[in-house]
Copies of this chain bind each other. A is one copy, B any other.
Amino acid sequence: MTDIDRPRRRLPRSVREQEIIDAALRVFAKRGYRAAVVDEIADLAGISKPMVYLYLGSKEGLFIACIRRETQRLVTAFREAAGAGDDPARRLWAGLTAFFGFVAAHRDSWVVLHRQAPEQSEAIAAELAAARRSVRAEVTGLIGDGIARGAGGAVHLGRDDADFVAHALVGAADSLTDWMELHPGEPPEGVTLRLMNMTWVGMRNVLAGEVWAPPR
Interface residues in A, total, Cβ within 8 A: 51
In the bound complex, do residue A119 and residue B32 qualify as a contact, i.e. CB atoms below 8 Å apart?
yes
- Cβ of A11 < 8 Å from any Cβ of B? no
Q: How far is the CB of A98 from chain B (nearest CB, A)?
A: 18
* Residues of B close to A174: CB separation below 8 A: 171, 174-175
Chain B residues closer than 8 Å to A3, beta-carbon distance? none
Cβ contact within 8 Å between A209 and B167: no
* Interface of chain A residues 81 through 125 with chain B (CB within 8 A): 89, 111, 115-117, 119-120
Q: Per a CB cutoff under 8 Å, which of B116, B165, B204 touches A117?
A: B116
Q: Is the beta-carbon distance between A205 and B208 smaller than 8 angstroms?
A: no
A115 to chain B: which residues have CB within 8 Å?
115, 117
User: Of the candidates B30, B178, B203, which one forms a contact with A165 in the assembled complex, judged by CB atoms under 8 Å apart?
Assistant: B203
Residue of B nearest to A156 (CB): B209
Decide: B172 and A35 in contact? CB cutoff 8 A.
no
A61, CB-defined interface residue at 8 Å: no
Interface string of A176-216 (1 = CB under 8 A from B): 10110000000000000011001111111111110000000
In the assembled complex, A55 has its CB within 8 A of some CB on chain B: no
A54 at the interface (CB under 8 A from B): no
CB neighbours (8 Å) of A172 from chain B are 167-169, 171-172, 175
- Tell whether A161 is near chain B: CB-to-CB under 8 Å: yes
Residue A4 is within 8 A (CB to CB) of chain B in the complex? no
Interface pair B176/A208, CB less than 8 Å apart: no
| Contact A167-B179, Cβ < 8 Å, known A119-B31, A200-B203, A209-B154 | yes
Binds B, one of A14-22, A41-49, A65-73, A145-153: A145-153
